[in-house]
Every structure is written in structure tokens, then in C-alpha cells.
Structure 1
């Protein structure tokens, strides 16, 4: 196979960025399979053309365009078919990888089909430019974040009708059970759908939407704190103030003083 590869050795300060790039490259053509190995970091491989097979816990057919994910500590092997393939690869690690997994932006399934591979190919292009920079570690770390977000968006997974409905009705004074009923779902099904799309439960998701709207009203209007609380779904301004303070880190009045122009 022909291609290129770059490897990086990020320092302690770079690792505090949350994710670091350890290497990236591209290969094209036919060659021996990657047999029975275990990585100590995460890897993402864009199969841009061709087909083959991945063995990681089970056998997975690979037909471009897909991204397949190699997990640290998990034994795997993969190979192109006789006709060869074209791939772009990335090695990365860091504590933010766990957060991406928890939030659903680093897929649990080992293979991610791509309805439109063009954005992901462009993201790998930005990664290739980053690892070739004179001081590559920070640009490459940013490119890893960019790539994970681009893959998720390219699958259409960020366009969830369940989340859209929750955002629309977030200020309603409804319990989670009522949101589920109006969506024609059981509470269990709603929790599962929100967890898959947003990495959190419906109550926590609704809270985030409400507090985001509250911030906009506090910073952009002269409404009283009590009026803002009522608008976002809380009849008790004292409870709203305690909730806002615990989540945001400052009281609503202090947030307004900091942010209002």
C-alpha cells in the first residue's frame, strides 16, 4: 500500500486540552491485513473507497463510505478485500474521549455508515494539515474535536425529532411522563431516545434548555428574575434562583450584572 503517516508526542500541557492526536495518516491500495493487535489508544479509520472486514468482538463487513472505531484495550483485526481500499486514520486519546462517549458523540457501535462522506473527508484533510504544521500538537488536538463532531453530524444523528419536541415544549410545566405521553412514547422509551441523542436524561436535557433561555432573558431583557423564572417554567422564583445558582455558579442577578449591556 502507498500513503503517508505522522506521529506526535504531546506534552503534559497539551494533554490538558482533553484530547490529543497521537498520529494520523492515509493508505491506498492492497496490502497485508492488520492482524490481531491491541491498541492503548482510540483509533478512527475513514474507509473512503473499497470494502473489507473488521473483527472486533464480532465480524463486521466494511463497505465505503464508513468510519470504523478501534477501542483501546480491545483486540481487533481488519483487512481490505482483494481489490484494495482507500483509508484515512487517526490515533487519539485523552479524558475528553470518555465525555464524548457518554454524550453519544463517540459511537458505541464499531462501524458508522456515512450517508455523505464529503464533510468527514474534509475534516481528515484539516487533520492532515494540522499534523504537518511546524507546531502541530494544539492544531491537531483541535482537529480531533472537529473530526468527532463532523462524523456525528454527517450521520444526521444530531437532528432528533424527540429532542426538537422537548426543546419546543421545554417551558411547559409538564412532568417527564407528560412529555412522553404527548410524544406517544413510554417513559422508558423517551429516556432511551434522549440518552441516545443527547447523552443525558430528559429531565436534565429540559433543565439545560430552560436555563439557556433564562440566560438569554437575563442578559437581553429587563424582566425581573421572578418574571424570567415564570417564563421558563418555574412558578417559585426562589427555587429557580437556587437551581440557577447551583447549575451556573452565580445567582441570576449576578449573571445579569456580568452579562447585560
Structure 2
């Protein structure tokens, strides 16, 4: 186990790592206790129990994640026969609020079944390696790894398949169809409330915002990499009314579509291509400085 003391400048990175540990076997019980920061405890083998607040005792079976959050009394322990293998990371910072809002940290679900732990183990091991004495990059390196750990844990949740969230994948495939959110729900055999809950759980936002982010991202690609008229760009991303599209784009992006195109044309070597890029393969800049 190693513990760190990041300074004020490091805290402004958004997340800082306070400690890391790798343990296994018949470990002693932890708590009851309260911490003033977040801890992700990744159980990679074995089983045991966990209790948060005044709630019931929950069985923990690997692979699983335990969320310890500030101000909530908790206790946990591996089963006395065989114990368990765990890795833990203590962290804090203002970015924890955003990660909680987006559903990456789940205070209301302190025991999270995982599909696998390889990605999380790699990040914990990376933090442990960075913790060598005299590492001048310790605080920044471990801060970056905590961000990646949260992504790895979100991806490894048992309610997310190996290829991603099926609801989000289906919405992404249909994002450019000129359909209201209720019609998307019906296409996928869901009520509007079910779709909202699924997208909030999977992406941390509403279905409308999820679809809008995909549409505007694609619109930016088309404006930056082609000379398609704005009306044609609007139609390609699901808006029949180019005036509405322009108002929406301007409000959300902060620039009118034409102004966004001018800005990108002035800064991207090679300028526009006449070939409409594949949504799954955005345009890149080739050796000649032009878009292929």
C-alpha cells in the first residue's frame, strides 16, 4: 500500500490519487468507518460481504466493484475461508461530481457486479508502478490513471456487453433518422420512460442530448471536411429544416455552421474534400497535407 499527498496545483487537475493498494487472502474486516474521499475497491477473486449506511449486508462475489463514498459509513470483509483478492485506489477532486452525474461513480449502488477486471487491474498496477520513490511525475501520472480507471470500471460493468451498451448502440445507428425520441423508443420496443432510464444509466444524459451530440459531431465533420451546402449537411444528420438546424448548431456550438466551416478551413491543412467521409472513419490529414 502506498499513500500520496498531492499539492493544491495537482488538485486543480480535477482528480488526484491519494493512495493505492493490492491485497489478497483472509484480510481483516474494514470498518465500520467513514472516509472523506472516494475509494474504488476492485475484487478480482473470492467472495465476502459489504454493508453501507444502515442498509442490509450484501454478498460480494468476484468480479465486483465496491464504491466507498465520502460521508457514508461502511464496513466490508472477505469470507474467512479463502478470502479474496482486491486492489483499491483512493481519490478525490472536483471531477468526482461530474463522474457521479454521468453514472461512472454510483453512490446509490455501492456493490457493482463486473464482467471482467483486466482493464481495472491494469490501471491499478499502473498507479502502483508510478508510486516508486523519487518519481517526479507521480501526482500527474496517477491523476491521469484515475481518470482511465473510472472509464475502465464503467466499461467493465456486468450490465454492459463486451461490445458496448445495446441501447446506446441502437440509438447511435439510428441517430440521423428524422425521428422524435418517442419514435426511437418505439423502434426499440421500449416505453419513453424505459428509454430515458436506459440512456441515463448508460450515458449519463437524456436520449435527446445523446442523439444531439452524435448529430452535431457528424455535422462538424461534414462542415469541416466537405463543401456540402449547409442544407445538405442538415438533411444528412436528420434535420429537414436547415434554418432550424442552423439555429440549433449556433446555440450549441457557439458558431454558425458557415462560420464553423470557415474557421476549420482556415486551420486544417488541405481544406475541403469532395468525398463525404464515412461516419465510422472520420477524415484524416495525409502526408501531403490534404484530406485523403
> Are 1:69 and 2:67 an aligned pair?
yes
> Are 1:79 and 2:42 an aligned pair?
no
Partner of residue 179, structure 1? 184
Cα distance between partner residues in 2 of 1:200 and 1:208? 10
Q: Please identify, of 58-67 and 73-82, the stretch whose mean Cα deviation from structure 2 is larger.
A: 58-67
Q: Please identify, of 105-114 and 67-76, the stretch whose mean Cα deviation from structure 2 is larger.
A: 105-114
Task: For residue 84 of structure 1, report the CA deviation from its aligned partner.
Answer: 2.6
Task: For residue 198 of structure 1, report the CA deviation from its aligned partner.
Answer: 0.9
Cα distance between partner residues in 2 of 1:198 and 1:96? 16
Q: Equivalent residues in 2 for 1:12-27 (5 A)?
A: 12-27=8-23
Q: Deviations over 1:103-129 (max 9, x none)?
A: 122234112222222222112111212
Partner of residue 124, structure 1? 124
TM-score normalised per structure 1: 0.92
CA contact under 8 A between 1:130 and 1:143: conserved in structure 2?
A: no
CA contact under 8 A between 1:24 and 1:128: conserved in structure 2?
A: yes
Partner of residue 229, structure 1? 234
CA contact under 8 A between 2:178 and 2:240: conserved in structure 1?
A: no
Cα distance between partner residues in 1 of 2:260 and 2:113? 43
Cα distance between partner residues in 2 of 1:12 and 1:91? 17
Q: Please identify, of 25-34 and 64-73, the stretch whose mean Cα deviation from structure 2 is larger.
A: 25-34
Q: SS at 1:116's partner residue? A: coil
CA contact under 8 A between 2:14 and 2:95: conserved in structure 1?
A: yes
Cα distance between partner residues in 1 of 2:105 and 2:28? 28
Partner of residue 93, structure 2? 94
Cα distance between partner residues in 2 of 1:169 and 1:118? 32
Cα distance between partner residues in 1 of 2:28 and 2:173? 53
Cα distance between partner residues in 2 of 1:160 and 1:80? 31
Q: Deviations over 1:133-166 (max 9, x none)?
A: 3331111110001111111112262712221221
Partner of residue 212, structure 2? 207
Partner of residue 39, structure 1? 35
RMSD of the TM alignment (CA)?
1.7
Cα distance between partner residues in 2 of 1:124 and 1:43? 12
Task: For residue 32 of structure 1, report the CA deviation from its aligned partner.
Answer: 2.7
CA contact under 8 A between 2:185 and 2:195: conserved in structure 1?
A: yes
Cα distance between partner residues in 2 of 1:212 and 1:99? 21
Cα distance between partner residues in 1 of 2:3 and 2:213? 39
Q: Please identify, of 247-256 and 154-163, the stretch whose mean Cα deviation from structure 2 is larger.
A: 154-163
Q: SS at 1:58's partner residue? A: coil
Cα distance between partner residues in 2 of 1:94 and 1:246? 30
Task: For residue 167 of structure 1, report the CA deviation from its aligned partner.
Answer: 1.4
CA contact under 8 A between 2:200 and 2:206: conserved in structure 1?
A: yes
The structure with more strand, counted as a fraction of residues = 1
TM-score normalised per structure 2: 0.83
Partner of residue 285, structure 2? none
Cα distance between partner residues in 1 of 2:26 and 2:219? 57
Match of 1:10 among 6, 17, 21: 6
CA distance 1:131–1:255, shift in 2 (3 Å): farther
Q: SS at 1:25's partner residue? A: strand
Cα distance between partner residues in 2 of 1:65 and 1:178? 37
